[in-house]
């Protein structure tokens, strides 16, 4: 076993993003030390936001401060699908104006030649 992998096995540290989005490394303690010295673990959590509990040199659990926990769970409150649904609803509402309806009617009633000219003009505008 290389010295680097031995060091990783002895001190498994987990990196995570805190509530400010910063990448931080959590402290780690063995399950035995966590059981014997929970007060020290709690102080580490309050100072650093998280502590990894290891068993047989492998990360098994993490203890988070309430601030970190709340930040993580509130961020997950809105699923990506709910966000997309809200965006779709807003876009649909903007398309329901009389001007937008008129534009869509004109686009569907236009001949292929008129659509081609409009597309070419829009492409020229964009550069």
Q: What average pLDDT does range 24-36 have in this prediction?
A: 90
pLDDT band at 8 (very low <50, low <70, confident <90, very high): very low
Domain end residue (candidates: 55, 74, 93): 74
Contact assessment for residue 49 and residue 67, using Cβ atoms and an 8 Å cutoff:
yes
Q: Are 53 and 85 contained in the same domain?
A: no
Strands across the sheet with 27-30, in order? 27-30, 50-55, 58-64
Q: Across all residues in the chain, what is the average pLDDT?
A: 81
Q: Are 45 and 92 contained in the same domain?
A: no
Q: Are 10 and 49 contained in the same domain?
A: yes
Residue 26 and residue 9: Cα distance in Å, rounded? 15
Residue range of the domain that includes 41: 3-74
Q: What is the DSSP string of 1-16?
A: --HHHHHHHHS---EE
Q: Are 83 and 70 contained in the same domain?
A: no
Domain count, the chain: 2
Residue 22: φ, ψ to 5°: -85, 140
Any idea what the CATH number is for the domain that residue 9 is in?
3.40.1620.10
Residue 112 and residue 92: Cα distance in Å, rounded? 26
Q: Are 8 and 51 contained in the same domain?
A: yes
Hey, what long-range contacts does 112-116 have (CB within 8 A, 24 or more apart)?
Answer: none
Q: How far is CA 65 from CA 52, 53, 115, in A?
A: 12, 14, 59
Q: Are 19 and 63 contained in the same domain?
A: yes
Q: What is the pLDDT of residues 38-89, one digit of tens each?
A: 999 999 898 877 899 999 989 999 998 888 888 777 765 566 777 788 889 8
Q: Are 69 and 95 contained in the same domain?
A: no
Q: Are 59 and 92 contained in the same domain?
A: no
């Amino acid at each position: 076993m290389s010295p680097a992998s031995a060091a990783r096995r002895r001190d498994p540290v987990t990196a995570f993003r805190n509530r400010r989005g910063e990448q931080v490394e959590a402290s780690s303690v063995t399950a035995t030390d966590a059981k014997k010295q929970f007060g020290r673990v709690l102080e580490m959590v309050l100072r650093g936001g998280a502590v990894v509990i290891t068993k047989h040199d492998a990360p098994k659990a993490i203890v988070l401060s309430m601030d970190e926990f709340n930040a993580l769970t509130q961020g997950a409150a809105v699923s990506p699908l709910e966000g997309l649904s809200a965006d779709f609803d807003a876009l649909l509402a903007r398309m329901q104006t009389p001007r937008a309806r008129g534009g869509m009617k004109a686009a569907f009633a236009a001949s292929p030649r008129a659509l081609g000219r409009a597309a070419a003009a829009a492409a020229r505008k964009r550069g």
